[in-house]
Amino acid sequence: MAHADGATRTVIMTVDDDPGVSRAVARDLRRRYGATYRIVRAESGGSALEALRELKLRGDLVAVILADYRMPQMNGIEFLERALDVYPGARRVLLTAYADTNAAIDAINVVDLDHYLLKPWDPPEEKLYPVLDDLLRAWRAGDHRPVPSTKVVGHRWSARSSEVREFLARNQVPYRWYSSDEPEGRRLLSAAGQDGLRLPVVITPDGTPLVEPEAPDLAARVGLATTPTADFYDLVVIGGGPAGLGAAVYGASEGLRTVLVERSATGGQAGQSSRIENYLGFPDGVSGGQLTERARRQAAKFGAEILTAREVTGLEASGAARIVRFSDGSEIAAHSVILATGVSYRQLTAPGTDDLTGCGVFYGSALTEAASCQGHDVYIVGGANSAGQAAMYLSRGAKSVTLLVRGGSLAASMSHYLIRQIEETPNIHVRCGTVVESAHGDGHLERLTLRDAEGGGTELVDAQWLFVFIGAAPLTGWLDGTVLRDERGFILAGPDLTPDGRPPADWELERPPYHLETSVPGVFVAGDARAESAKRVASAVGEGAMAVMLVHRYLEQS
């Protein structure tokens, strides 16, 4: 349970499972900062996260979070890591005993810990207040203006409602969800002059109602940049996954006028991951949302423009310029282009799944739906890391999680560390050699027919939730006739452009293509969209950085 003073001031939060310690910390904070800041205390990581989410939805600000290390269910490091998703700009302090100093030092790398304090902190005038004063000064130096929340009124089993919620969540736009079946949702619909037949209805912070909004209009109305500020750039990066974000960071930081264009939300498939545990520098893992948000802020800090909800439909070489065309008919041009369009999950072909997509059948992790899975039986299709990470995340609240794997085992496609975690989680079950034959439901998923992959018998199971992670389809159809691709649609580059490694017949330069350069000079590819790429976050980021290095080389010789 969280307790608070005041109603409108910026928050300092303290979390400790010992009620006596919790009250003592809050008392000392109140004595020094109570006139200026609102002191919120919580006695568990779970209740503290609830309080943080409520504060976020109201548009309140949180300056500092202090958490005790030794708490049951969720220790202080785990709590601060999850708090990063809600308030990435808040300063983080770990309260720890002398015996846990090493854990506190490790946390500096795991959660960007700003400081750790040894208990007891008496006298606070010497050990507590000077630390908090410095952290508050640093926090105030940033831009932390409150952001009024957007309201979304929809139905639980509305596919479009699910898409809008996912779009807002992945773009870090605070919003509050209201079911159209509940009194407050009906009140908002009435105030917006809507009868609820067309959902969702999005009410922007300025009170404007948007009925079934398309992504570009929604993005513009909630404050996301959708329009370029110039007609010509040094570098256009197409795609905002790890490769595109890496390219934007390195391009902008090295002085190139850079714009990143993303059709949905930055992060790509990695941004939807509940936890990435094999990325260098994060020994305890990092959520895809955290990694994406840090990278996005880093790119923006260096001056890269980031355009959201802009779909690229064409690419053309015109002399020294590379022209990028958008679906609305507008265009921008640049000296160079990096294609980082990534991949999408392949669609299930089983009868019934198309009609139930967004209504119990989801592609990717759909983290906004995770809370609704509490206490339910969940099915996941796929045997690679993304499926395993989703299984571990959903198993925290679901009654059971069943992984449906076409192959004979997980070993061929999933990292060893994930396989071990799954084996050690009692409510995760793995069914190898099993596929979805069909999906059934009236308006939402109710049952699945499962079939033995070798042609055996079928089984009908009750199911309200199905998350699909089956293979990767490159998002490159719009490049048909522009750059060379392989038979599966992945972009060819460098020595892979031809079987013998020589430049293509229509290559116009004397030099051979650079390693990540496509069949069009000055157009490079990075990440999962490249043929024979490693399909890992770290390699995608590395290729984004390498592509920028090759862009420099190209510009110097042009």
CATH number for 387:
3.50.50.60
Given 168, 186, 221, the domain boundary residue is 221
Distance CA 398, CA 375 (A): 5
* CATH number of residue 208's parent domain: 3.40.30.10
Residues 189 and 238 in one domain: no
pTM above 0.85, yes or no: no
**What per-residue confidence (pLDDT) applies to 53?**
80
Q: Does residue 498 lie within any of the structural domains?
A: no
**What per-residue confidence (pLDDT) applies to 512?**
94
Residues 299 and 184 in one domain: no
Residues 92 and 11 in one domain: yes
Q: Does residue 484 lie within any of the structural domains?
A: no
Q: Does residue 226 lie within any of the structural domains?
A: no
| Residue 372, Cβ density class (10 Å: 0-12 exposed, 13-18 middle, ≥19 buried) | middle
Contact 444, 356 (CB under 8 A): yes
* CATH number of residue 11's parent domain: 3.40.50.2300
Please state the length of the chain: 558
Query: Distance of CA 536 to CAs 20, 244, 265, 277, 540, Å?
Result: 46, 14, 19, 12, 6
- Supply the DSSP symbol for 495: G
Peptide bond between residue 200 and the one before it cis (omega within 30 degrees of 0): yes
Q: Does residue 497 lie within any of the structural domains?
A: no
Helix (H) or strand (E) holding 86: helix 76-86
Low-confidence ranges of the chain (pLDDT < 50): 1-7
Given 140, 172, 190, the domain boundary residue is 140
Residues 322 and 366 in one domain: no
Distance CA 160, CA 352 (A): 18
With CA atoms as reference, report the closest residue to 28 among 122, 140, 145, 167.
122
Distance CA 435, CA 452 (A): 6
> Cα 339 from chain centroid?
20
- Supply the DSSP symbol for 308: E
Q: Does residue 480 lie within any of the structural domains?
A: no
Residues 215 and 261 in one domain: no
Residues 161 and 134 in one domain: no
Residues 249 and 293 in one domain: yes
What are 61's two structure tokens?
């600000």
Domain interval for residue 516: 232-344+510-557
What are 444's two structure tokens?
């939402």
Q: Does residue 501 lie within any of the structural domains?
A: no
β-pair type (331-339, 321-326): antiparallel
SS3 for 524? strand
Residues 22 and 136 in one domain: yes
**What per-residue confidence (pLDDT) applies to 69?**
86
Q: Does residue 336 lie within any of the structural domains?
A: yes
**What per-residue confidence (pLDDT) applies to 416?**
95
Count of helices and strands (H, E) across the chain = 15, 27
With tokens 């596929």, the residue in question is: 435
Alpha-carbon Rg for the chain in angstroms: 25
Peptide bond between residue 19 and the one before it cis (omega within 30 degrees of 0): no
Residues 28 and 131 in one domain: yes
Contact 180, 186 (CB under 8 A): yes
Residues 204 and 321 in one domain: no
Given 78, 105, 140, the domain boundary residue is 140
Q: Does residue 476 lie within any of the structural domains?
A: no
> In angstroms, how far apart are the furthest CA atoms of the chain?
77
Residues 217 and 256 in one domain: no
Give pLDDT tens digits for 337-384: 999 999 988 999 999 999 999 999 999 876 677 778 889 999 999 999
Domain count, the chain: 4
- Degrees (nearest 5) of the Cα angle 317, 320, 323? 40
Q: Give alpha helix (H) positions in 261-359.
A: 268-271, 288-301
What are 275's two structure tokens?
């936890």
Residues 173 and 206 in one domain: yes
